[in-house]
Amino acid sequence: MYATGKYSSRGPALIPRMKTKHRIYYIALFSVVLLGLIATGMFQFWPHSIESSAEWTLEKGSVHDAPLIRLPASSPIPERGDLSCRMHTCFDVYRCGYNPKNKIKVYIYALQRFVDEFGVPISSTGLSREYNDLLSAISDSDFYTDDVTRACLFIPSIDVLNQNSLRIRETAQALAMLPRWDKGMNHLLFNMLPGGPPDYNTALDVPRDRALLAGGGFSTWTYRQGYDVSIPVYSPLSADVVLPERQPGPRHYFILSSQTAIHREYRAELERLKEENGEALLLLDKCSNLSQGAASARKRCYKGQVYDYPQILQESSFCVVLRGARLGQAALSDVLQAGCVPVILADSYILPFSEVLDWKRASVVIPEEKLSEMYTILKSIPHRQVEEMQRQARWFWEAYFSSMKAIGLTTLQIINDRIYPYAARTYEQWNNPPVVKWSSVNSPLFLPLIPPRAPGFTAVVLTYDRIESLFRVITEISKVPSLAKLLIVWNNQNKSPPEESLWPKVGVPLKVVRTKENKLSNRFFPYDEIETESVLAIDDDIIMLTSDELQFGYEYFNYLYTYKMPGDIKNWVDAHMNCEDIAMNFLVANITGKAPIKVTPRKKFKCPECTAIDGLSLDQTHMVERSECINKFASVFGTMPLKVVEHRADPVLYKDDFPEKLKSFPNIGSL
């Protein structure tokens, strides 16, 4: 018996066919799912920003529209503050995470109005204009995020810039109520006027747990090195008064004091200095014959004569900045804006942004007990250095003091550099003003980014007719392992160089170039024979250097010296037969903004065979001219590019008591 089955023209009906209405349902469902997947993919790959474009501003968060938060009397109070906090103990760097742009993300809390249980505000002034400007600047910067989950640093919208306006306990309770407070971890507070009468503490008195403090009056006792940030006290005059930049140079007054609320002992000492030095010192005070108000704040007086402030600051070379009730003084900002060199007398004061700024280049710091010696100390500073300090002072103000934006973003950059040290700004980036550019010289890295035609260095020896000394120099240099070629610049047009058979036998190519004129600048000409990046320019009388000393201490600026040296410096050098080495140092320092690398010195550096007849440097007028050429070159460059160097590079084991065979450079002369 065979089982019967239903057949159709399509074959056996092994699977029941789906009803039409069910088929339509599943097709519609599949279409919806497919469209959803497509939309999701487009959202993932379509260019967009995760962060909202909304920015924190007072207009978008008006104080009157902000929610009111009532603080119960029993609200918790943070701890006083841990003086032992450092970035590795009180800051969670893991919140910052990996960031390809090496930028921390900063979240600003929404604006709220905090009052106590009786409805009294925690601050008598609310949100100040300065703090609003600060928060608005941060919200406009690359640091800002409105995504709290991505934030590395949190900034409260509670204004603590001026402690005088705060109720200490209630402000601390408000901080503790912030949703991400977590004992202040990764929170940053800005304060410029700390402490209060009678002791005026040098740090904010509000208990703040582990929060970082950007403070405007730190002392060495309250500043947590590498954790807190010392910031300037902002001067409102920065926004209200425009002082045009003034060229550095001598001013009408040598020293000027313009602060009005200084201690009577300091004022008595300043008056004594005034009596001793007369018109060189101008001692100003507040004007007693003017009515109090905004106008009187911009006036200073001396014996009935009225001066405009801060304009008068531009008439002095040095301006005194004395401590008042607080260490940090807004007068410092006014002085810097005027391009006047601040003379700071405030013992234990942590100068603003001193973590990154080199204040020795822009100010003079004198202990308070040496106020009586101030005039003598300042008179000992060379005029050229004073001009450089005036220029640096003005640049510090423009870059770091001129606005709340500059202060806030500088603070964040310092913290950013701590978290991403491998991408931190260098000393030069923090401290060097924009370099004076010459025509057609755009970058110190003018060489092509290709390997040199030859490794090692080329020794360029300038000579005239000291044959024996020249041959000794050649013999010693030829022992240096990194030497690639010897180039002898024969600077004597009246005498031919020795025959080829008389020259020392060396293991590298030796080429003699005869010049058309006897010029010192010939040593820096970019000869075609130079195929290495590094060049050693040396005279024919430097016979005391050993091969180890040369190997240890060996940039290529000959092209710039020959073709791009500003003004008539090269002609001056050739005419006076002097200062070509100083001119090259001016050139390199101005282009790179860096000091030279000082290497192992010798006390004895003499040429025993040189006489007064054949030695330029033995002429009595030689050293006098070298002093003159420094002034000449500085005037041509329009600045003093030479840098002070306090570092010296010695070989490893140089003076250690080790066997000579263990030292890489055993043949370096003793001091």
DSSP track, 36-79: HHHHHHHHHHS---SS-S----TTTT-TTTSPEEEE-TT-----
| pLDDT < 50 regions, the chain | 1-16, 40-56, 58-61, 436-450, 553-556, 602-606, 608, 612-614, 670-671
pLDDT at 637: 81
Domain assignment of residue 437, yes or no: no
Q: If you write DSSP's letter for every residue of 305-347 in order, what string do you get? A: EEEETTGGGGGEEEEEEE--SSS--THHHHHHHTTPEEEEE-T
Write down which residue in 366, 401, 436 finishes a domain: 401
Domain assignment of residue 582, yes or no: yes
pTM metric for this prediction: 0.64
Task: Based on the fold, state whether residues 219 and 246 are members of the same structural domain.
Answer: no
Buried b (16+ CB within 10 A) or exposed e, 536-547: bbbbbbbbbbbb
Reduced to 3 DSSP states, what percent helix, strand and coil does the chain have, rounded to the nearest 5? 35, 15, 50
Domain assignment of residue 299, yes or no: yes
Task: Based on the fold, state whether residues 380 and 483 are members of the same structural domain.
Answer: no
pLDDT at 267: 94
Task: Based on the fold, state whether residues 477 and 377 are members of the same structural domain.
Answer: no
Task: Based on the fold, state whether residues 193 and 282 are members of the same structural domain.
Answer: no
| CA-to-CA dists, residue 338 to 183, 244, 354, angstroms | 42, 8, 20
Write down which residue in 387, 413, 439 finishes a domain: 413
Q: Which domain holds residue 488?
A: 451-563
Q: Are 189 and 181 in contact (CB under 8 A)?
A: no
Task: Based on the fold, state whether residues 265 and 295 are members of the same structural domain.
Answer: yes
Task: Based on the fold, state whether residues 214 and 248 are members of the same structural domain.
Answer: no
Task: Based on the fold, state whether residues 302 and 274 are members of the same structural domain.
Answer: yes
Domains in the chain, number? 4
CATH of the domain at 330: 3.40.50.2000
Task: Based on the fold, state whether residues 356 and 396 are members of the same structural domain.
Answer: yes
Domain assignment of residue 438, yes or no: no
Cα–Cα distance for residue pair 93/86, rounded to 1 Å: 12
Domain assignment of residue 73, yes or no: yes
pLDDT at 554: 43
Tokens 């940030």 map to which residue? 229
Task: Based on the fold, state whether residues 507 and 555 are members of the same structural domain.
Answer: yes
H or E stretch at 586: helix 580-592
Cα–Cα distance for residue pair 429/356, rounded to 1 Å: 10
Q: Are 281 and 375 in contact (CB under 8 A)?
A: yes
pLDDT at 620: 58
Task: Based on the fold, state whether residues 86 and 161 are members of the same structural domain.
Answer: yes
In tens, the pLDDT along 548-585 reads: 555 554 444 666 777 778 778 888 888 888 888 888 88
Q: If you write DSSP's letter for every residue of 131-154 in order, what string do you get? A: HHHHHHHHHTSTTB-S-GGG-SEE
Task: Based on the fold, state whether residues 197 and 250 are members of the same structural domain.
Answer: no
Domain assignment of residue 646, yes or no: yes
Domain assignment of residue 350, yes or no: yes
Cα–Cα distance for residue pair 415/424, rounded to 1 Å: 10
Q: Are 158 and 174 in contact (CB under 8 A)?
A: yes
Domain assignment of residue 657, yes or no: yes
pLDDT at 558: 60
CATH of the domain at 557: 3.90.550.10
Task: Based on the fold, state whether residues 383 and 241 are members of the same structural domain.
Answer: yes
What 3-state class would DSSP assign to 503? coil
pLDDT at 590: 79
